[in-house]
Chain A
Amino acid sequence: MLTYTIRRIGIAIPTLILIALTIFLLLELAPGDPMAQVPLTVPAEVKQQMRLALGLGEPLPLRFWKWSVQVFWIEPQVFVDWLTRDSWLLGWLPDTNLYDGRLRVISWQTRGPVFDIIVQRLPQTLWVVGLAYVVGVLIAIPIGIISAYRQYSWFDNAGTFVSMIGFSVPPFFSGVLVIVIFSVQLGWFPSIYDTTHRVTDWDSFVLQFKQMIMPVMVLALQTTAQISRYMRASMLDNFGQDYVRTARAKGLRERSVVLVHVLRNSMIPVVTVVALGVPAIFGGAIITEQVFKVNGIGQLFITALQANDLPMVLTVAFIFAVLIIVFNLIADLLYGILDPRIRYD
């Protein structure tokens, strides 16, 4: 297992660097000029100096190197400092003072560190997207089990149809549709997600619940559609196996055959699919956040893109890439733990 893990990590790290380079080069090809909004009365040489001040005058490899140092070396220092100083988890440790005031990744929009803004936006995304994913998986697994156990029953057919709809109706339509129905026509839920809302008592909790239910359900529909199909296929694969017949033959109750023997073995591929789906749902959050006006990380990306804020775009896109790679790694390792045959490939 250790060599397997090392081999997987050995593949992941070069991939990550290559991806960072790809995104960097793509942005490098960009014709956009951060000085485009500066008034025309500013002389050209002053503009040139402003560009230099943003670090644009340096040659390309040097800038990539500096950005990498900032992301991989300086930002972790800041993070560790924060962990040992302010976080509730590790705040009891003695304060580390690793960060020595060197330049961090600076946004061209706000002239502040990019990671500070990302940290502000991340909780909203995590709450909505993360909760949606958990809800989606929790709905999908029982649906998959029942669909497989009662294959071709009305429940199975309905499940197939609903998951087809989940695949086919894009979130920017299902989101808008639920807004039309539940916010405009019925007036049950607010159509805009209020991120400044604080939960202090029962009433504010109810409000929070109401404003979360639509984005969470829209995202969960997509997740449910995918995961329930995988669950069903995986259960069906296992129902045909010899050990199921053995379990039944030795007189186990149907309940424990299905929920212990078959379910545990069926979960192996599903767990990896669940892990692999996490990054995709962050990408999909770009759209859902736009529909429900959640100011999470996806919305941050869109606004940075429109404002030509290249450091922010680069960093956020890189974070998406890191998520993909990390969860691919997690999926690989989980598969290795759950199914020992995989380790010896």
Chain B
Amino acid sequence: MTDAAGPKPGLAAAGAVTPAEVEPIPLDEPTGSQWRDVWRQFRSHRGAMAGLMVFGVILLAVLIGPWLWPYDPTETDIRARNTRWIFACLALPWGEVGSCFLDPASSGLKASWTHPFGTDQLGRDLLARLMGGGRVSMAVGVAAMALALVLGTAVGVAAGYFRRVDGLLMRFTDLFLALPLLPLLLVAVLLFRDQLNAALGPEYGIFVLIVFGIGITSWMPTARIVRGDVLALKEREFILAARAVGTRDGGMIARHVLPNVLSPIMVSATLGIATAIITESALSFLGLGFPPDFPTWGRLLFDGVDYLQSYPERVVWPGLAISLTVLAVNYIGDGLRDALDPRLRGR
């Protein structure tokens, strides 16, 4: 026995002592393996991994940053107003750049290391405002996406599963798709802003309004995709089998339909965050979003446009934050779609 096992100790040990170590072979774990495969596919998509990292960094910065950074986004310091950002030193003549970085005050440039990103016309620290604004923008993006997702999935599953309401719900979806959404969103914000502000306070009122506005105007693509998938699912044998053993509609949807349409829902969720962030910024940029003392990326961009010539950094940073976040989220969505749907790989 020892002789036979001698040349191959590893094999014998594995076979005899620890069968658990052999377990992770995907075949033994049908539910876990799918997601592991998805993750493996996702990791091989370079753009998606880069997007995930960038998104993670931005998310960490806006979540943790405000605790670490000593300034408050709404705190005004009128003496330090209109400070340039520190890299404005690079515009100086070549010889003065070094001394400017060491001691910005001596070079005649209004810049300082206390406010490395500069301040606005009221002396509010731009870095603090960027991080605070990012929190709001992200929160709006995620909340609006969640609302749109719930609505879209509900409509899509109902339309795909119950034949009676299919025609009606899809006409309704088409009607929503034919609405001029941005104009109507602008109208809704302008019309209901004051009432909601009175009811919930100026910050939560507009937050609720914008989240609802974006949510109810962006559920339609999800609904259509989900409906299509549910219709295809309904023809499959396992649904027939489940029906044969007497599964009710509620249980059927919860246990058999929803888990199987999860992948298109996840992809629309990712892309939904991106569109929601852009829409919120667009509203703020048109002056119809959050109030000026409540920074979001779009609002910062809007405020910065007036000072475009002298202080381009006030426009560039918020815009870059929006674009990078959306770009990262779009790449994540791309990778996720490839990973979840093998037929689409390489498109």
In the complex the two chains form, what is the Cα distance from A26 to B188 in whole Å? Answer: 8
Partner of B180, one of A164, A168, A170, A320: A320
Q: Contact between A29 and B191 (Cβ–Cβ < 8 Å)?
A: yes
A residues 74-97 touching B (CB-CB < 8 Å) = none
Check A172/B282 contact, CB under 8 A, given A31-B194, A164-B331.
yes
Residue of B nearest to A286 (CB): B182
Stretch at the interface among A102-110, A114-122, A301-309: A301-309
Stretch at the interface among A64-72, A138-146, A175-183, A251-259: A175-183
Residues of chain B within 8 A (CB-CB) of A134 are none
Q: Contact between A301 and B301 (Cβ–Cβ < 8 Å)?
A: no
Q: Contact between B330 and A302 (Cβ–Cβ < 8 Å)?
A: no
* Total contacting residues, chain B, CB less than 8 A: 43
Separation in Å of the B323 CB from the closest CB of chain A? Answer: 4
Q: Contact between B327 and A164 (Cβ–Cβ < 8 Å)?
A: yes
Q: Contact between B327 and A165 (Cβ–Cβ < 8 Å)?
A: yes
Stretch at the interface among B72-80, B107-115, B123-131, B304-312: B304-312
Check A317/B326 contact, CB under 8 A, given A170-B278, A177-B316.
no
Produce 1/0 per residue, A154-174, CB < 8 A to B.
Answer: 000000000011011110110
Q: Contact between B326 and A321 (Cβ–Cβ < 8 Å)?
A: no
In the complex the two chains form, what is the Cα distance from A283 to B320 in whole Å? Answer: 23
B residues 249-302 touching A (CB-CB < 8 Å) = 274, 278, 281-282, 285-286, 288, 298, 301
Produce 1/0 per residue, B209-222, CB < 8 A to A.
Answer: 00000000000000
In the complex the two chains form, what is the Cα distance from A31 to B193 in whole Å? Answer: 10
In the complex the two chains form, what is the Cα distance from A233 to B344 in whole Å? Answer: 11
Check A287/B178 contact, CB under 8 A, given A23-B184, A177-B319, A305-B186.
no
Residues of chain A within 8 A (CB-CB) of B331 are 164
Residue of B nearest to A167 (CB): B330
Q: Contact between A168 and B285 (Cβ–Cβ < 8 Å)?
A: no
Q: Contact between A184 and B184 (Cβ–Cβ < 8 Å)?
A: no
Residues of chain A within 8 A (CB-CB) of B298 are 172
Q: Contact between A176 and B323 (Cβ–Cβ < 8 Å)?
A: no
- Decide if A113 is an interface residue (CB 8 Å cutoff): no
* Total contacting residues, chain A, CB less than 8 A: 46
Residues of chain A within 8 A (CB-CB) of B27 are none
Residues of chain B within 8 A (CB-CB) of A15 are 174-175, 178
Partner of A317, one of B178, B187, B286: B187
Q: Contact between B285 and A172 (Cβ–Cβ < 8 Å)?
A: yes
- Decide if A290 is an interface residue (CB 8 Å cutoff): yes
Separation in Å of the B55 CB from the closest CB of chain A? Answer: 12
Most chain B beta-carbon contacts within 10 A, residue among A15, A169, A173, A284: A173
Check A168/B327 contact, CB under 8 A, given A27-B187, A31-B194, A173-B301.
yes
Residues of chain A within 8 A (CB-CB) of B5 are none
- Decide if B195 is an interface residue (CB 8 Å cutoff): yes
Residues of chain B within 8 A (CB-CB) of A168 are 274, 323, 326-327, 330
Separation in Å of the B220 CB from the closest CB of chain A? Answer: 13
Q: Contact between A184 and B286 (Cβ–Cβ < 8 Å)?
A: no
Residues of chain B within 8 A (CB-CB) of A179 are 308
Separation in Å of the A156 CB from the closest CB of chain B? Answer: 11
Q: Contact between B183 and A170 (Cβ–Cβ < 8 Å)?
A: no
- Decide if B181 is an interface residue (CB 8 Å cutoff): yes
- Decide if B244 is an interface residue (CB 8 Å cutoff): no
B residues 4-39 touching A (CB-CB < 8 Å) = none
Residues of chain A within 8 A (CB-CB) of B178 are 15, 19, 321, 324-325, 328
In the complex the two chains form, what is the Cα distance from A235 to B331 in whole Å? Answer: 23
Q: Contact between B286 and A30 (Cβ–Cβ < 8 Å)?
A: no
Q: Contact between A32 and B301 (Cβ–Cβ < 8 Å)?
A: no
Residues of chain A within 8 A (CB-CB) of B181 are 283
Q: Contact between B184 and A176 (Cβ–Cβ < 8 Å)?
A: no
Q: Contact between B190 and A279 (Cβ–Cβ < 8 Å)?
A: no
In the complex the two chains form, what is the Cα distance from A321 to B301 in whole Å? Answer: 29
A-B contact pairs, 15 of them (CB 8 A): A15-B174, A18-B175, A22-B179, A26-B188, A165-B327, A168-B274, A168-B323, A169-B323, A170-B278, A170-B323, A170-B326, A172-B285, A172-B319, A176-B308, A313-B187
The 5 closest A-B pairs by CB, nearest first: A173-B319, A320-B180, A168-B327, A30-B191, A168-B326
Query: A-side interface residues toward B, CB under 8 Å?
Result: 15, 18-19, 22-23, 26-27, 29-32, 164-165, 167-170, 172-173, 176-177, 179-180, 184-185, 233, 236, 279, 283-284, 286-287, 290, 301-302, 305-306, 313, 316-317, 320-321, 323-325, 328
